[in-house]
Amino acid sequence: MQRKLDAFKELLEIMDELRAKCPWDMKQTLESLRKLTIEETYELGDAILKNDLQEIKKELGDLMLHIVFYAKIGDEKGEFDMADVLEGINKKLIYRHPHVFGDVDVDGSPKKVEENWEALKLKEKGGNRRVLEGVPAAMPALVKANRVQEKVSGVGFDWEYKEQVWDKVKEEVDELSHEINQVDKDKIEAEFGDLFFAMVNAARLYGVDPEAALERTNLKFIKRFNYLESETMLKGKSLHDMSLAEMNVIWEEAKKEE
């Protein structure tokens, strides 16, 4: 524990020095750091998907630097410091885990923990906080759909049985097919959105992270397409000159290579 405390103390001291002496660090603001923090978060996400533990460690350090940076700026403005940040999250965690730090019984159910968490969040605002109030507007649509569904599920707005979601998926497929036949671009877009939303719901109910699932397919497709392109070049050809049937032959080879 002492090693951890010493390392964190050193980071705080380094940040003090950077803000006092480094021209680049001195000019940074909350706003200028925002886009960099988003980039670092995505880099951490990439490392997690690759299960690269050394890279995860590195990216966590980068994110920790940003947290300390924001806290330092807050301190300079006289609004909050690192202690305020840590005390705030400590208090929140204890309050929202009464089954750990109190006498609430959740029978070992993660689902009950989630429901209790959402109920306590609403209670913190005196009951005036809306369920979906905390979902960031700038969050990517796929991630946002999953988070919206998680939050409403936390207050009981969910399917009674997860298998029921497939009727909704089939209904959305039929509605999309209908609008495609009507050739109404606006309604087609709307129905695609409804179908995506239903599929995200299905993934959630079956314990699958839709963002991770889609990224897994993205990476698989990229790997296969890169194989197709490389093999085509080795044959002295260009993809532009090949027929779809010829490309499919190499594509099947790529699948077998996996």
Q: Give residue-wise pLDDT tens across range 228-251.
A: 999 889 888 888 888 999 899 999
The angle subtended at Cα 8 by Cα 17 and Cα 33, nearest 5°, is: 60
Does the reported pTM lie above 0.85?
no
Other CB atoms within 10 A of residue 61 CB: 11
237 within some domain? yes
pLDDT at 175: 96
Position 186 in a domain: no
Residue 145 has pLDDT above 90, yes or no: yes
Q: Which one-letter amino acid corresponds to residue 237? A: K
What's the mean pLDDT in 150-177?
92
**Residue 9 is part of a domain; what is its CATH number?**
1.10.287.1080
Residue range 130-144: mean pLDDT, rounded: 85
Tokens of 52: 């690269």
Examine the fold and report which residue of 96, 120, 142 is the final residue of a domain before the chain moves on.
96
Q: Is residue 125 part of a domain?
A: no
Which letter, b or e, does each residue of 155-165 get, where b requires 16 or more Cβ atoms within 10 Å of its Cβ? eeebeeeeeeb
For residue 78, give every residue at least 6 positions away whose Cβ sits within 8 Å of its Cβ, in sequence order, or none.
none
Q: Is 234 domain-assigned?
A: yes
Helix (H, G, I), strand (E, B) or coil at 206: coil
State the total domains in the chain.
2
Which of 257, 193, 207, 200 lies closest to 228 in space, CA to CA?
257
Q: Domain range holding 37?
A: 2-96
| Domain-located, residue 115 | no
Averaged pLDDT, 99-104: 79
Q: Is the pLDDT of residue 165 over 70?
A: yes
Q: Residue 142 and residue 152: Cα distance in Å, rounded?
A: 16
Say whether pLDDT at 258 is over 90.
Answer: no
Is 118 in a helix, a strand, or coil? helix
Domain boundary among 81, 96, 111: 96
Task: Answer yes or no: are the C-beta atoms of 24 and 33 closer than 8 Å.
Answer: no
In the predicted model, is pLDDT for residue 256 greater than 70?
A: yes
For residue 194, give the 3-state DSSP assignment.
Answer: helix
pLDDT digits (tens, 9 = 90+) for 38-95: 899 989 988 988 889 999 999 999 999 999 999 999 999 999 999 999 999 999 889 8
- Among candidates 169, 153, 141, which has minimal Cα distance to 116? 153
Asked, for residue 230, whether it belongs to a domain, the answer is yes
In a domain, 248, yes or no: yes
Q: Is the pLDDT of residue 125 over 70?
A: no
- Per-residue confidence at 96, pLDDT binned at 50, 70, 90? confident
| pLDDT above 90 for 133 | no
CB atoms within 10 A of CB 207: 7
Q: How confident is the model at residue 168 (pLDDT cuts 50, 70, 90)?
A: very high
Cα–Cα distance between 143 and 3 in angstroms, integer?
A: 36
Identify the band that residue 127 occupies on the pLDDT scale cut at 50, 70 and 90: low
Domain boundary among 96, 128, 145: 96
| Residue 156 resides in a domain | no
